[in-house]
Structure 1
Amino acid sequence: MDIVCWALFAIAVDLLLGFTGLLSFGHAAFWGSSAYVSGLIALHSGLPFPLAVLGGAAFAAVLAVPIGLLSVRLNGIYFAMVTLAFAQMVYFVVNQWRDLTGGENGLQGVPRELFGMDLSDPFIFYYVGLPLILLGMLVAWRIVRSPFGRVLVSIRDNPARAQALGYPVERYKLLAFVLSAALSGLAGGVFAISHGFASLHDVYWTTSGQAVMMVVLGGIGTLWGGTIGAALIVLLNDYLATAGFQEIGIVTGSIFVIIVLVFRRGVWGTARDLVQARVAARRRTTTRLRTAEE
């Protein structure tokens, strides 16, 4: 469950980074705020958890509107720093609003309510919660395959030309930012319901950094590369923690550096390029043989 939640989170970040060209270090605000809102809805309303998760995703999308309006006018490192600043503001609010969020203790005892079904077994919950994650992935895939997604790529490659062609660049960036936040919120809500709690770590900036690292490991602009990056990071963290290793960041950081130096396009991107090059070579060979026979 952790792998698929982080995978959707990485895909949401890649929608903004790989297809719009905006590096955000503030997406923990949407992942974490949705986790808290989903948990609060599940705790105090008794609604089925899918509705609680969708409520959290909607809150993340609404939160992204003012943040996006003030951020999308910037580019590069300035955009990254502004989103980081807003995320830390959200972290401060969550930490100080102890009566609602639990402060440092977090939000605990979040139920998994679904029409009286017993979802205490993680195995059962995985198959009940998985459709929500797959729905988010389907939405991301549809976005990048749509004309809207093509415009985002054109903005990433040459925003001045996209503006000259009549596309409102800032409006497209804002919409991409809000959609990315909503998908991040969907992933964060399922993650919180799965674990039964929401913590301050969910809204801390390192959560954003880990999602960005997953995207880079898998391959920026590949969409599905984030899934591979999420699997690698989650499994490695779990293995090292189980083995009692304390300095997990040293190992994951070293692997990150190696991947960036050796596989510039990430694991998925490098594998895809190799397959495409091999297929192209076979086609050229086949064409030459046919020409020689003729």
Structure 2
Amino acid sequence: MAGKSEPISGEHIAIHPKAGQIQLALLVLALAVAVLAPQFLYPIFLMKLLAFALFASAFNLLLGYTGLLSFGHATFFGGAAYFTAHAVKIWGWSPEAGLLLGVLGAAALGLVMGAIAIRRQGIYFAMITLALSQMFFFFCLQASFTHGEDGIQSVPRGHLFGVIDLNDTMNMYYFVLAVFVLGLVVIWRFVNSPFGMILKSIRENEQRAVSLGYSVARYKLGAFVMSAALAGLAGGLKALIFQFATLTDVAWQMSGEVILMTLLGGIGTLAGPIFGAGLVVTLQNYLATSDFPVTIITGIVFMVCVLLFRRGLVGEFFASKLGRRLGFRAQS
């Protein structure tokens, strides 16, 4: 807390008396940079970054704050992309209605998958989510509405609330930015609610939470569904941004990619997954035309991160003396 000291490796690090103001100023600065960024960077690249940052933040809600490692989050991301794309293109729905359908569809998938997977723990939980995700992948491969390997192409962006033309790149960018900020607010509120505090206690000591009378399975399922819904929001955005939904969105590689983003940035932090997603998307974007494989560069970055930054890049900053002085906290 502000005004007190906290032991770190045998030292006492005083918290900056204006830590709250500093953090607020950093948030305002980050928002200002996001608003002005399209003037200097390619808007489509920025929209992709925001969509995947939201995806990684949704995954971090499950791994970082609940301690559940899922290998099947591509199901919710890609499933929502298909639902949104189909509703907007085939049924002629508005973009906001299509996004809502994607979120609800992802939440429903999360409810079914979570109800099955949370019966197990650790690697068994991870393997069950992977198996269920592969089942959904083959469903999408065979289902008629997904158009198999061709995917759903030429998805119209339409008009937001029937007024704002999302075919205009700048309108689309600020819409994506608004949804991204809304998603982060929901995650922050969820994590700092009494429900979120119980999730953290389950992560730290599940048996103690059970002894206190909490229904651990129900709380885990709630976190799983919330994470799935937010991942679906990111997937629906992705379908509108690039105007297509394909099998790549539901493949197991997508689940591995979001795990990588989260671990690179730092689990259990709000900014970590955003930074990790930004790093991976930037590498993919600027090295795509080079002769050197992007996956090798990403792998090297991940190896360095594992060896030197055990908490992730942002997580190590939060655990540093400077991060503590500014009032940040790193999750163990």
Name the TM-score, length of structure 1 as normaliser. 0.91
Cα root mean square deviation, aligned: 1.4
Taking the aligned partners of 2:326 and 2:92, their CA distance within structure 1 comes to 54
Q: Is the 8 A contact 2:262 2:272 kept in 1?
A: yes
Aligned equivalent of 1:266, options 308, 312, 330: 312
Paired residue secondary structure (1:108): coil
Query: 2:145 is matched with which residue?
Result: 100
Aligned equivalent of 1:216, options 229, 241, 263: 263
Q: Is the 8 A contact 1:214 1:226 kept in 2?
A: yes
Name the TM-score, length of structure 2 as normaliser. 0.81
Q: Is the 8 A contact 2:57 2:270 kept in 1?
A: yes
> Cα–Cα, structure 1 residues 154 and 104, in superposed 2: closer, same or farther, change >3 Å?
same
Query: 1:154 is matched with which residue?
Result: 201
Taking the aligned partners of 2:295 and 2:275, their CA distance within structure 1 comes to 19
- In structure 2, the gaps of 5 or more residues are 1-46, 328-332
Taking the aligned partners of 2:326 and 2:158, their CA distance within structure 1 comes to 49
Query: 2:39 is matched with which residue?
Result: none
Identity of aligned residues (%): 48
Query: 1:292 is matched with which residue?
Result: none
Taking the aligned partners of 1:57 and 1:171, their CA distance within structure 2 comes to 20
Query: 2:130 is matched with which residue?
Result: 84
Query: 1:24 is matched with which residue?
Result: 70
Deviation at 1:277, TM superposition (A): 4.7
The answer on 1:125 being equivalent to 2:125 is no
Aligned residue runs from structure 1 range 45-60, under 5 A: 45-60=91-106
Taking the aligned partners of 1:238 and 1:51, their CA distance within structure 2 comes to 30
Q: Deviations over 1:170-192 (max 9, x none)?
A: 00000000000000000000011
Query: 1:286 is matched with which residue?
Result: none
The answer on 1:7 being equivalent to 2:43 is no
Counterpart residue identity of residue 197, structure 1: F
Query: 2:9 is matched with which residue?
Result: none
Aligned equivalent of 1:72, options 111, 118, 140: 118
Taking the aligned partners of 2:175 and 2:95, their CA distance within structure 1 comes to 10
The answer on 1:250 being equivalent to 2:296 is yes
The answer on 1:194 being equivalent to 2:204 is no
Counterpart residue identity of residue 179, structure 1: M
- In structure 1, the gaps of 5 or more residues are 281-294
Paired residue secondary structure (2:90): helix
Taking the aligned partners of 2:120 and 2:68, their CA distance within structure 1 comes to 9
Paired residue secondary structure (1:17): helix
Q: Deviations over 1:107-141 (max 9, x none)?
A: 10111111264322333311123222221111111
Taking the aligned partners of 2:326 and 2:105, their CA distance within structure 1 comes to 45
Q: Is the 8 A contact 1:95 1:104 kept in 2?
A: yes
Q: Is the 8 A contact 1:218 1:269 kept in 2?
A: yes
Count residues in correspondence: 278
